[in-house]
Structure 1
Amino acid sequence: MSKKNRLIVHCLIALCSQYVCAQPRTMGLEEMFRLADENSQRIQVYQTGKDAAEAALQAAKAQRLPDINASLSASYLGDGKLWDRDFSNPMNIDMPHFGNNFSLEAQQVIYAGGAISSSIELAELGKHSAELDAQKNRQEVRFLLTGYYLDLYKLHNQMQVLKKNLELTEQVIANMRVRREQGTALQNDITRYELQKETLKLQVAKVKDASTIINHQLVTTLHLSEGTEIIPDTTLLDEQIQTLDEKNWQALASQNNLDLQQTQVGIQVNEQKVKLERSERLPKIALVAAEHLDGPITIEVPVLDNNFNYWYVGVGITYNFSSLFKNNHKLKQARLNVKKAQETHQLMQEQVENTIQATYVDFLTAFTDLRTQKKSVELADQNYDVTSNRYQNDLALLTDMLDASNTKLSADLSLANARINVIYHYYKMKYVTHTL
Structure 2
Amino acid sequence: MFNYSFYSKKNHLVAATFLLVSLAAGIQNTYAQAPDAGFRVSLSEAVQFAKSQNKWVQAARVEESAAGEDRLDSYRAALPTVNVNGSYQRFSDLTLFTEGLSHSTTGPRKPTPNAAALGIDALFNIYSGGRQRAFQKEQTSRQSLAKLNTEDQSGNIALQTAGQYLDLVRLSDLKKYIQDQLKRAQIRLKNINTLYKNQKVTKSDVLRAEVMLSNVELSLQQTENDISIANQKLDVLMNVPDSVRLNPTDSAGMLKPRPDSLLQLIERTGISSYSVRKAAENVEIQRARVNGIQSANMPTLGFYTAYGLNYPNYLFFPSVNQAYAIGFVGLKAQYSISSLYHNKSKVAAGKLRVKELELQQQAIADNITIDVKSYYIKYMEALNRISVNQRSVEQSQVNYRIVTTKYFNQLALLTDLLDADNLYQESRFNLVKAQTDALTIYYHLLYTSGNL
Q: Report the equivalent of 2:26.
A: none
Overall identity of the aligned pairs, in %: 19
Q: What is the CA–CA distance in structure 2 between the aligned matches of 1:133 and 1:30, rounded to whole Å?
A: 22
Alignment of 1:140-151 (within 5 A): 140-151=156-167
Other-structure match for 1:380:
396
Which of the numbers 47, 61, 72 marks the counterpart of 2:86?
Answer: 72
Q: What are the within-5 Å matches in structure 2 for residues 265-284 of structure 1?
A: 265-284=281-300
- Post-superposition Cα deviations, 1:203-245, rounded to whole Å, max 9, x if no partner, equal 1122111111111011122122332222222356232422238
- Which position in structure 1 is the counterpart of 2:40? 26
Say if 2:126 and 2:301, in contact at 8 Å, map to a contact too. Answer: yes
Q: Distance in 1 between matches of 2:334 and 2:281?
A: 33
Which residue of structure 2 lines up, in the alignment, with residue 253 of structure 1? 269
Describe how 1:240-389 pairs up with structure 2 within 5 A.
240-244=256-260, 248-298=264-314, 302-384=318-400, 386-387=402-403
1:432 partnered with 2:445: no
1:21 aligned counterpart, secondary structure? coil
CA displacement at 1:400 relative to structure 2:
5.7
Distance, in Å, in 1 between the alignment partners of 2:134 and 2:372 is 36
**CA RMSD across the alignment:** 2.8
Alpha-carbon separation, structure 2, partners of 1:230 and 1:38 = 17
CA distance, structure 2, for counterparts of residue 310 and residue 85 of structure 1: 41
Compared with structure 1, are the counterparts of its residues 202 and 21 closer, same or farther at alpha carbon in structure 2 (3 Å cutoff)? Answer: same
Amino acid at match of 2:365: Q
CA gap 1:299/1:313 in 2 versus in 1, 3 angstroms: closer
> Which letter does structure 2 place at the counterpart of 1:57?
R
Q: Which residue in 1 is equivalent to 2:175? A: 159
CA deviation digits over 1:72-112, x for unaligned, max 9?
11101234466899999977664211111112101111111
Contact 2:97 2:103 (8 Å CA) reproduced? yes
Structure 2 Cα separation of the partners of residues 86 and 406 of structure 1: 115
Total equivalences in the alignment = 420
Q: 2:71 aligns with which of 57, 61, 66?
A: 57
Q: Structure 1's 185 and 136: CA in aligned 2 closer, same or farther, altered over 3 A? A: same
- Superposed CA deviations along residues 159-210 of structure 1, whole A, max 9, x for unmatched, are 1121211221122222222222222233222121212222222211221111
Can you give the 5+ residue segments of structure 2 that lack an aligned partner in the other structure?
1-30
Letter aligned with residue 76 of structure 1: R
Q: Give the whole-Å Cα distance in 2 for the aligned partners of 1:292 and 1:80.
A: 27
Q: 2:318 & 2:104 partners in 1: Cα distance? A: 15
* 124 and 19 in structure 1: CA distance in 2 versus 1, 3 angstrom threshold: closer
Which residue of the partner structure matches residue 421 of structure 1?
437
**Contact between 1:161 and 1:410, CA under 8 Å: does it hold in 2?**
no
CA distance 1:289–1:75, change in 2 (3 Å): same
Distance in 2, Cα, partners of 1:288 & 1:347: 50
> Does the aligned pair in 1 maintain the 2:252–2:432 contact within 8 Å?
no
Structure 1 pair 393/185, CA: closer, same or farther in 2 (3 Å)?
A: closer
Q: Indicate yes or no: 2:224 matched with 1:208.
A: yes
The answer as to whether partners of 1:168 and 1:402 remain within 8 angstroms in 2 is no
Q: Distance in 1 between matches of 2:76 and 2:258?
A: 50
Return 387-396 or 276-285, whichever deviates more: 387-396
Deviations 1:287-308 (A, max 9, x none): 1111022222346554321223
Worse overlay, 210-219 or 226-235 = 226-235
CA distance in 2, matches of 1:312, 1:434: 58
SS of structure 2 residue aligned to 1:69: strand
**In the alignment, is the contact (CA less than 8 A) between 2:121 and 2:307 conserved in 1?**
yes
Match of 2:297, SS state, is coil
8 Å Cα contact 2:64/2:143 also seen in 1: yes
Q: What amino acid sits opposite 1:422 in the alignment?
A: A
Query: Secondary structure of 2:366's partner?
Result: helix
